[in-house]
Amino acid sequence: MPRSAGDAAPPSPGRVGALFSSLVVRLRWWIIGFWALACLASLFLLPPLSESQGRSDLQGLVPSNTPAVTNELRTVDIFGYPLTGRTIVVQRNPSGLSVYDQARTFTNAIAINRQEYADVAPLRGALPITNTLGLFPSSTEQDTTALTYLLFDQDVSFGRQTRAAEEYIDRFFSARDDIVGITGSVPARARQGDIIREDLPLVEALTLTAIVLIVGIAFRSLVAPVVAVVTTGVAYVMTLRMSGAVTALFGVTSPSELEPVVVALLLGVVTDYVVFFCAALRHELRGGSARLDAARAATARYGPIVAVAGLAVAAGTAALMVAESAFFRALGPALVFTVLMGLLVAVTLVPALMAVLGRLVFWPSLQRHSETPLDPHPKEAGGRRSLLGYIISGRKQAWITATAAITVLATAALPLVNLNLGVSFIESLPGDTSVRRAAEAAESGFAAGILSPTTILVEGANLDARYEGLGRLGDLIEEVPGVAGVLSPGDNPRRVERNILVSPDGAAGRYLVVLDDPALGGTAIDTVDRLGDRLPELLIRSRLSDVTAGLAGDTATASYIVQQTEEDLLRIAVAALAANLLMLIVFLRAVVAAGYLLAASMLSLAASLGLTTLLFNEINPGAGLTFYVPFAAAVLLLAFGSDYNIFAVGSIWEEARHKPLPAAIASVMPGAIRAMVTAGLALAASFGLLAVVALVPFRQLAFVMAVGIMLDVLVVRALLMPALLTVVGRVSAWPSKRLRADGSSH
């Protein structure tokens, strides 16, 4: 029967695929040699990514016109120094610090402030705080704890600030001074970078080991894992070295969080494509094809599918670039480049290796026999009914399966209503780190928010003559839920507050607000937001209606980051959904199937985020998920869902050109499910092993990605997808008519 142009399978990809496969097989030795030389050249000539990243400062990704940053700079302009620093020396003795110990803490700080020890570079100042007699706001004990906030210029690196704090301790303190250690957001960030560098080699080694085991067991082969490791190794070297060169050339910096994510993404997606190619090659060899013919056929059949799947992942991750957040704009290009480089290596090197090795890829297990497709009508065959056979045996069974799968996923998604975002640094560290121990000591003597108090700057005329109003404002601020204590003008003798809490000209004042919860956490951010919303009302009640007020500090900055991230949600979601939907429609030439397949992926994503929220809210209540984790996971999981949709449904579509849809599903899905489970396990292992990095954000990302990938493969692809295809039937191909009732094509 003649086919209409609108309903026939696209001829161009078939011709292009055949031409490409023939070319790759013919040039197999040249391709292998090219990638070998490219790897060697990049190792010797290009810098690694870690050496090109420069200073990794999350706060540096916040625009300078951010209100919290502007207020902090304004505070420095008026008073000459901030009220608190982000590097803190902690002294603590539960039995009590002596009067002499506390006095030395103050005299040491005074010496630094007078620049008597300018050689302790780049230290610019020090601010001591003690819980003497429990007088300092938020003090929970008396005379047990002293903190010294060390002040630095903003361009001093995290590592240098930490080393300067160590020099300060060595110069001014001895063992009798009960020094616990150094803490604060700056030392925490420095320690985060150290942990990432220390743990990344182990993550890489374990991921490669997992890939070897998964691929080896799936194909019952000793050689297939070698193909996977060689391919991922080439992609790894080329991606990181070329990324390092681009970073060094253009002077771009990126957060240290990027490298482990890039490594996990790279190893995972490349292994996926190796699995897809190897599954196709095994099918051809089992059918009796010769080595080169099998390599050509496998590449011609799955090369376009892998290429489109890879482009779908790249397009999906590119959605991050529409965000206004500088963090996501830095993350987006890095992920896109990673996927494209991995795809380029996979679609050239893997077919070349298959053409060279042939049947050896599956040594020692491969035997010459054909795979037997699942009977689409198991009742008629009289054999034992499999789960897939049950699903596609009728629409009633498909409806039952789809309803059950959707119910399970929707239930798992319910905890998303409690999703809260945070930007914690100290809380993300392991409990046995010195920074974390020093933080806990400081919080024991004061309150959880003491390590990074929030500053409120007020400006107005003759404030030094309006102390009653300033004091009243401090009292009202302290009544806001979530505030542990406030150091405000009017609490101390005026001669003490002059130049510290009230400016010399009396035109500005500032408050030190200590929160009940750890700074930068989700609950602390909620408190700061509440405080910011109520400030205008509090000014009026304090009879300071003509005074302006603004928030500064780490938690206020974190609030801006979270707010900007939430505002980016719509932009990222629209871009990601549009990119994935477009790739599915173009490849499948079907709007209906593309719509419900993408909806299924979204439901799986919601379920994985819901389970992650539930788990980490139990582990660390109030901290929230790290702000970038849900959004990075959403973009990646949607992209991987499109990847698997293209692989599975694309194969079904091709088979359905010659068979009824149920028969096509029965023929394709058993092998597709096996390949997707293998690929999914490898991808889940790549991201799941990020949990080896002993930082909370990586464990959150590891959990959501591993759970999301396995839900997508085991529930959505293995159960929900064939059920939906069966329920919707040939309407799935609308507006194309490529699926006919009898399975023949026009």
- Residues 130, 132, 138: CA angle, nearest 5 degrees: 70
Residue predicted with more confidence, 619 or 247 = 619
The yes-or-no verdict on residue 59 having pLDDT over 50 is no
Give the model confidence (pLDDT) of 422-467 as tens digits.
Answer: 877 888 889 889 999 999 999 999 888 888 889 999 999 888 778 8
d(CA 718, CA 405): 10
First to last CA, the chain: 6
Threshold 0.85, pTM exceeds = no
d(CA 385, CA 718): 16
The yes-or-no verdict on residue 678 having pLDDT over 50 is yes
Start and end residues for every CATH 1.20.1640.10 domain found in the chain = 11-57+190-423+559-733
Q: How confident is the model at residue 347 (pLDDT cuts 50, 70, 90)?
A: very high
Percent of the chain past pLDDT 70, that is, above it, reads 87
Percent of the chain past pLDDT 90, that is, above it, reads 30
Give the model confidence (pLDDT) of 463-499 as tens digits.
Answer: 877 888 888 999 999 999 999 988 888 666 555 556 7
Give the model confidence (pLDDT) of 622-672 as tens digits.
Answer: 777 888 888 888 888 888 888 888 888 878 887 887 788 888 888 888 888
Number of Cβ within a 10 Å radius of residue 37 = 10
Give the model confidence (pLDDT) of 356-392 as tens digits.
Answer: 999 999 998 865 544 444 444 444 433 345 788 888 8
Q: Which two tokens stand for residue 363?
A: 């040594």
The CATH number of the domain covering residues in 87-183: 3.30.70
Residue predicted with more confidence, 420 or 713 = 713
Give the model confidence (pLDDT) of 259-301 as tens digits.
Answer: 788 888 888 889 989 998 998 899 888 888 899 999 998 898 8
The average pLDDT across 117-133 equals 76
Start and end residues for every CATH 3.30.70.1320 domain found in the chain = 453-552
pLDDT score, position 247: 60
d(CA 487, CA 494): 13
Residue predicted with more confidence, 745 or 96 = 96
pLDDT score, position 518: 85
Say which CATH class 11-57+190-423+559-733 falls into: mainly alpha
The SS3 of residue 91 is strand
The SS3 of residue 48 is coil
CATH of 453-552, one of 3.30.70.1320, 3.40.718.10, 3.40.50.1980, 3.20.20.410: 3.30.70.1320
The yes-or-no verdict on residue 227 having pLDDT over 90 is yes
Q: Which two tokens stand for residue 377?
A: 């009508």
The average pLDDT across 63-70 equals 78
